[in-house]
Amino acid sequence: MERILITSAIPYINGIKHLGNLVGSQLPADLYARYMRGRGNEVMFICATDEHGTPAELAAAKVGQPVAEFCAEMHKVQSEIAEGFRLSFDHFGRSSSPQNHKLTQHFAGKLAENGLIEEVSEKQVYSHADGRFLPDRYIEGTCPNCGYDKARGDQCENCTKQLEPTDLIDPRSAVSGSTDLEVRETKHLYLRQSTLRDKLDEWINSKKDWPILTTSIAKKWLHDGDGLRDRGITRDLHWGVPVKKGDEDWPGMEGKVFYVWFDAPIEYIAATSEWAEANGKPDACWQRWWRTDMGADDVKYVQFMGKDNVPFHTLSFPATIMGSGEPWKLVDYIKSFNYLNYDGGQFSTSQGRGVFMDQALSILPADYWRWWLLSHAPESSDSEFTWENFQASVNKDLADVLGNFVSRVTKFCRSKFGEAVPEGGTNGPDEEKLIAEITIRIRAYETHMGAMEVRKSASELRAIWVAGNEYLQTAAPWAKFKTDPDAAAASIRLSLNLIRIYAVLSAPFIPDASATIMAALKTDDMDWPNDVAAALETLPAGHAFEVPDVLFGKILDEDREKWQVQFAGVRKD
């Protein structure tokens, strides 16, 4: 039995995420967590909401709510959607938790002790009307290059010129619109990542088994241009983790908070601590996952994320951990994903283009989305959601192949033998051939799932479903029933047992359908089919079952056409 720590990149709090976000981290992480639990391993699966920073403050202001209240409500919304998609987190935490405040301050204190924090004086724009410093992109004005009047302080969207806020003509606050702005000197803390470059480089070089997508991004950031740069870890904001050196005040840093990129990954650890508290467990229970001096030495730690998050997870967060000089667990494997596009373009949160997680669940059950998204996961390159492909995949794989097998076998048995596993007959050459094929395929499925090869796993699972249908065509129990009812009984007994194996193998992809099948078979035996021949005798003759309702309804052309129009944008909140 292995101990496996799994974290999914934590979604930002200010809104509901689209299906591209889901398949880029949470969903494949859930697939892996469910599989590893199914194989009898001890799993800790952690996710959380990323709650600090200016976008949360602005989103709260927009709806006229205090930011803490806004985040609490949005966390609840995201939790419910996660449950709707059957994401089986052991804990879905919050980066605004007291645990994360304490840990973030602790790490900053250790980094300072080790000489890895530098204080830097900077000039920044202060807004009198807003009573705060403004981040560059919250200052708007006229572009000196092209005259566009809504250019941002970091870049002009119209001509793409990189800008400094002081370049703007007639600058104003994007928060209040006020032009009462002033450039002030302010002090910030920087993490001296550059001094850890060689150590990070060596560490990444040692990860021979990581996907190229992961290591190539890390290498680029380490070596391109001037190489890895120091990064600011503080901000002049109200909402966030107050800057402290461990438990102590940090002179000159009063009223400042840690920058969200610094505290967000620390929340992986903090969320595990939140899990312990929520379950009334002592600290040792979460520390054994994270402290190599407290039992985490034999933990395998796997992170899931979209490619845009790779630099933070390969460089910045490891720099925090290494720089602390304390025995915290470093990641063992990073599974990163490309982007999912939507119907000839990109998903767009601002334009409401594409299907968002809440909308998806309002039109179809979670399993339909889980199956399509995972079987088309953007692993080796970006992939694209189209309604035609979604409809074809659901109707063919789920309804025609898996659903049809379950339906045919259970209904035929009910009409000829009654609602119990039939007795009589023995395996013949067709059955032996099926067992041999399924055995090879299940071993391949295990290899792909263990390696987090999501698409290959889905295609192997589909092939295992297909093998059952092909067997049924060849064995033809409905024809045999007239001449050799014992042979038909043996064939159906094997097929009913194969349905249970399908439920076990498919649970990581389509947990609801798996549960429906298990309930219909009146068994809770989820034992993995290590020995396929033996597993095909799990349900003995005489074991009662019932015919389940239709597992997967087909998607009709008229629905597909309706949804194509509905989700083309613009979403109205």
Q: Which residues bind to Zn ion, rule: CB under 5 A?
A: 143, 145-146, 148, 156, 158-159
Burial-class residue 437 by CB neighbours within 10 Å (0-12, 13-18, 19+). Answer: middle
Give CA–CA dist 44/33, Å, rounded: 8
CA count, 13 A, side-chain hemisphere, 63: 17
Q: 138: closest CA among 33, 37, 40, 53?
A: 53
Smallest separation, CB 144 to Zn ion (Å): 8
Smallest separation, CB 134 to Zn ion (Å): 19
Q: Considering beta carbons, is residue 159 or 278 the nearer one to Zn ion?
A: 159
In degrees, rounded to 5, the angle at the alpha carbon of residue 65 between the alpha carbons of residues 60 and 66 is 85
Instruction: Please count the residues of the chain.
Output: 573
Q: Considering beta carbons, is residue 142 or 523 the nearer one to Zn ion?
A: 142
Q: In 3-state terms, the chain is what percent helix, strand and coil (to 5)? A: 50, 15, 35
**Pairing mode of beta strands 91-94, 42-49:** parallel
Q: Considering beta carbons, is residue 60 or 143 the nearer one to Zn ion?
A: 143
Smallest separation, CB 142 to Zn ion (Å): 9
Smallest separation, CB 149 to Zn ion (Å): 10
Give, rounded to a whole angstrom, the gap between the first and last alpha carbons of the chain: 47
For residue 87, the SS3 value is coil
Smallest separation, CB 167 to Zn ion (Å): 10
Q: Considering beta carbons, is residue 148 or 203 the nearer one to Zn ion?
A: 148
Smallest separation, CB 345 to Zn ion (Å): 24
Q: Considering beta carbons, is residue 133 or 138 the nearer one to Zn ion?
A: 138
Q: Considering beta carbons, is residue 156 or 504 the nearer one to Zn ion?
A: 156
**Tokens linked to 465:** 């479903």
Give CA–CA dist 109/131, Å, rounded: 28
Task: Concatenate the DSSP letters of all residues of 430-441 into one string.
Answer: HHHHHHHHHHHH
Q: Considering beta carbons, is residue 152 or 235 the nearer one to Zn ion?
A: 152
**Tokens linked to 291:** 């402290």
What single-letter DSSP state applies at residue 309?
G
Give CA–CA dist 233/53, Å, rounded: 12
Q: Considering beta carbons, is residue 147 or 177 the nearer one to Zn ion?
A: 147
Smallest separation, CB 307 to Zn ion (Å): 28
Q: Which DSSP helix (H) or strand (E) runs through 305? A: strand 299-306
Smallest separation, CB 174 to Zn ion (Å): 16
Match 């979460």 to its residue by tokens: 286
Give CA–CA dist 53/261, Å, rounded: 9
Q: 171: closest CA among 184, 185, 182?
A: 182
Give CA–CA dist 551/553, Å, rounded: 7
Q: What are phi and psi of 121, to 5 degrees?
A: -90, 135
CB count within 10 Å of CB 475 equals 22
Name beta bridge partners: 18.
356
Q: Is 167 left (phi over 0), alpha (psi -120 to 50) or beta?
A: alpha
Smallest separation, CB 343 to Zn ion (Å): 31
Q: Considering beta carbons, is residue 158 or 386 the nearer one to Zn ion?
A: 158
Smallest separation, CB 127 to Zn ion (Å): 22
Cβ contact 438:405 at 8 Å:
no
Smallest separation, CB 172 to Zn ion (Å): 16
Name beta bridge partners: 172.
140
Contacts of 26 (CB under 8 A, 6+ apart): 8, 9, 11, 47, 82, 85, 87, 304
Q: What are phi and psi of 527, to 5 degrees?
A: -60, 135
Q: Considering beta carbons, is residue 88 or 145 the nearer one to Zn ion?
A: 145
What does each C-alpha distance from 21 to 315, 346, 377, 458 come to in angstroms?
A: 22, 12, 11, 19
Q: Considering beta carbons, is residue 160 or 206 the nearer one to Zn ion?
A: 160
> Which residues in 315-369 belong to E strands, given as ranges?
333-337, 340-342
Q: Considering beta carbons, is residue 42 or 149 the nearer one to Zn ion?
A: 149
Smallest separation, CB 148 to Zn ion (Å): 4
Q: Considering beta carbons, is residue 144 or 252 the nearer one to Zn ion?
A: 144
Q: Considering beta carbons, is residue 156 or 490 the nearer one to Zn ion?
A: 156
Smallest separation, CB 158 to Zn ion (Å): 5
Smallest separation, CB 145 to Zn ion (Å): 4
